[in-house]
Amino acid sequence: MNAAMKKIFYPIIAILAGLSFVSCDDMLDILPKNQMTADTFFKNDAELKAFSINLYGNFPGTSLYIENSDSYIQMTMLDEIRDQVTPENVSGWSWGALRNINTILDYLPNCKDEQTRTYYEAFARFFRAYFYFEKVKRFGEVPWYDTQVGSTDVEKLNRPRDSRDFIMGKMIDDIDFAYNNLPGAKSAYEVTKWTALALKSNFLLFEGTFRKYHTEIDFGKDAKSAEWYLQKCVEASEEFITTSPYSIRTIGGPDAAYYNLFTTNNATELMDEVILARNYNLTYGVYHNSNYTMLVASMGKPGMTKKLVASYLCKDGSRFTGKPDWETMEYTEEVVDRDPRLAQSIRTPGYFRLGDENQVSVATDLNATMTGYQPIKYVTTVDQDIYNGSDCDLIIYRAAEIMLNYAEAKAELGTLEQNDLDISVNKLRDRVGMPHLNMNDANADPDPFLTNEEWGGYQNVTGANKGVILEIRRERSIELCQEGRRYYDIIRWKEGKIFEKQFYGMYFKKIGEKPSEYDFDGDGNLDLMLYTEAQKVDGKAPKTTAKLSYCVGTDIILSNGDSGYVNPHKNMPGIWHEDRNYLYPIPKNERSLTDGALTQNPGWDDGLNF
């Protein structure tokens, strides 16, 4: 939403407050001239904009910078991986947004200008495809509604779920109409034809890989195959790569270009790569808490996991996990000479805060991160280190993701060639000066770390393209880390057992007779002291100049007691049910209202028998 749009947005409540949606049965023969109704609204661009602009609120907000899965963890694990989701408490079964979308479509005939009608039909149908993608990811089959449904429409409200194929077909129809009729000019904050193509690429990749790996699900006798959806993904992604005005942003060079994407408060400066972003601006009172979340202990202490850190290649393209002692390397050694995206995603030695005129090195702070690997994406200038004080724009879609989609879909289909990697994955590597991914080398020697079960590696990848599929997944987990994609990647790949593995942080060697002290950034000042219960002096921590002093086993949990990996959830392992957890349950109260028309997802028992 640009500044002009914001000036429209804030008076919207006043406009819509007088807009009364009533049925024909409730109307008098003559409508009051001083009352707006649905039948007298939606007549022109201004009225349609005033109503439709609210649909932008359907896009995610803080979840674009808060990750909680196997790659990033927080103090509290996701309910989804703690066996805490039930048919009684499940969320996400909300249809208000769809009613607003269909309201626009139902009342478009009120507008007599054909060009305006076409634009808003494309706009609304984009959001309907987006709405149903979110529902399909979460619940699988759901009812399809393409018109408003009121509280008295009992027959429509009580209808059963439509097949997944039917819904996907409708989504494709909607998104194709949006692509063909939305503007082609770039816009950082408004949906365009390129936003539609990005969404299409995303949902086709999801559906194709979901069907490939979830062989336990019966999609129906005449359902389209995984290969069909993957090929459609290839076509959409290739069209984006070859015809869109987007590429990979390289301004800032290998050591800053990636980082700069996530610390700019004006996404219009990033439109060489950014397709769509959420516009935040403190001047308009539109803010979030990215700085505060990454810096303040009470905000969940998010941290990258050891598993993801270990996934980053060395700067020369070799495998970090190929080093004989990689598992017991301490922080200051393991982060040296790695893929530059690591130092642009977490604090490493030499990191300093934006807005710090003195350019003073800032060490990782274990008081603010569960793992020791402290995120810096979306952490901006020091003046925004307050609650509700951040206004950097949050990216929803960018070209890098579509390139990754293209490479993955072709690899899964078995049609990938080296040139495909060169126009996709290797463009991302070029940005940070990393050696190219070679398809033949990857397939000849698949990385054993990426399939290591103990470390939460992938268990379901097979075939001649196993090595390159694993490498594309590595690239995706690194390039899109902390951007809200990881959980559903695990879902579509059917790798949920990953969530039952221990989520480790940085490694600490055994504490000796004396406490261990650490200078994380090499500035000569101690950042952490670790000591044992036996090393307390008069019941207190030993004296130290370190900023933090932690008692092992109490203040910090290590995997081996007095040594090993930071292990914050050691006593709270994840729980994953393969027979049910890839889909959420349908809410029990919603099923009870439909007399059984809404069936329950497999494996979930809500006690209802119709």
pLDDT at 1 over 50: no
The residue that leads in pLDDT, 483 or 153, is 483
Q: Which has the closest alpha carbon to 582: 232, 217, 234?
A: 217
Residue range 382-389: average pLDDT? 95
Least confident of 33-37, 42-46, 219-223, 264-268: 33-37
Please report which confidence band the pLDDT of residue 10 belongs to, taking 50, 70 and 90 as the band edges: very low
Q: Residue 37 pLDDT more than 90?
A: no
The yes-or-no verdict on residue 32 having pLDDT over 60 is no
Q: Compute CA distances 249 → 261, 400, 513, 576, whole Å.
A: 8, 9, 51, 39
Q: What is the pLDDT of residue 151?
A: 66
Residue 22 has pLDDT above 60, yes or no: no
Residue 271 pLDDT level (bands cut at 50, 70, 90): very high
Average pLDDT for residues 563-576, to the nearest whole number? Answer: 94
Indicate the length of the chain as a whole number: 610
- Selection from 133, 150, 136 nearest residue 99 by Cα: 150
In this structure, of 353-357, 470-474, 544-548, the range with the lowest mean pLDDT score is 353-357
H-assigned helices in 226-367: 226-243, 257-260, 290-295, 306-311, 331-334, 340-343
**417: burial class by Cβ within 10 Å (0-12, 13-18, 19+)?**
exposed
Architecture per CATH, 3-251: Alpha Horseshoe (1.25)
For residue 596, pLDDT over 90 is answered with: no
Tokens for 262? 């996530």
pLDDT at 7: 36
DSSP-based three-state secondary structure for 448 = helix
**452 is written with which tokens?**
């290591």
Residue boundaries of the structural domains of the chain: 3-251, 397-500, 511-565
So what's the pLDDT on residue 154?
Answer: 65
User: Does residue 4 register a pLDDT over 70?
Assistant: no
Average pLDDT over residues 383-395: 95
The pLDDT of residue 261 is above 70:
yes
Contact (Cβ atoms closer than 8 angstroms) between residue 421 and residue 436? yes
Instruction: Note the pLDDT tens digit of each residue in 109-127.
Output: 999 999 999 999 999 999 9
pTM above 0.85, yes or no: yes
pLDDT, tens digit (0-9, with 9 covering 90-100), for 418-472: 999 999 999 999 999 999 999 999 999 999 999 999 999 999 999 999 999 999 9
Largest alpha-carbon pair distance within the chain? 91
Confidence grade of residue 158 (pLDDT, cut at 50, 70, 90): confident
- Lowest-pLDDT range of 36-40, 164-168, 218-222: 36-40
Q: Which of 402, 432, 403 is nearest to 261 (CA)?
A: 432
Q: Cα torsion for 515, 521, 522, 523, to the nearest 10°?
A: -100
Q: Tell me the backbone φ, ψ of residue 37, rounded to 5 degrees.
A: -130, 170
Rounded to an integer, the average pLDDT of 537-555 is 96
Per-residue model confidence as pLDDT tens digits over 485-505: 999 999 999 999 999 999 999
In percent, the amount of the chain with pLDDT more than 90 equals: 88
SS (H, E, C) 469-525: HHHHHHHHHHHCCCCCCHHHHHHHCCCHHHHHCCCCCCEECCCCCCCEEECCCCCCC
Q: How far is CA 426 from the centre of its chain?
A: 22
Residue 610 confidence class, pLDDT cut points 50, 70, 90: confident
Q: Computed from CA positions of residues 224, 227, 230, 231, in that sequence, does the dihedral angle turn out positive or negative?
A: negative
How does the average pLDDT of the chain come out, rounded?
A: 92
| Residues 168, 140: Cα–Cα separation, whole Å | 11
Q: Which two tokens stand for residue 420?
A: 């495909």
Q: Beta-carbon neighbour count of residue 10 at 10 Å?
A: 11
> Percent of the chain at pLDDT above 70?
93
Q: What is the pLDDT of residues 60-81, one digit of tens each?
A: 998 899 999 999 999 999 999 9
Q: Do residues 275 and 399 lie in contact, with contact meaning Cβ atoms separated by under 8 Å?
A: yes
Check residues 83 and 21 and name the one with the higher pLDDT.
83
Taking residues 188-210, what's their average pLDDT? 98
What is the Cα–Cα distance from 363 to 341, expressed in whole angstroms?
18
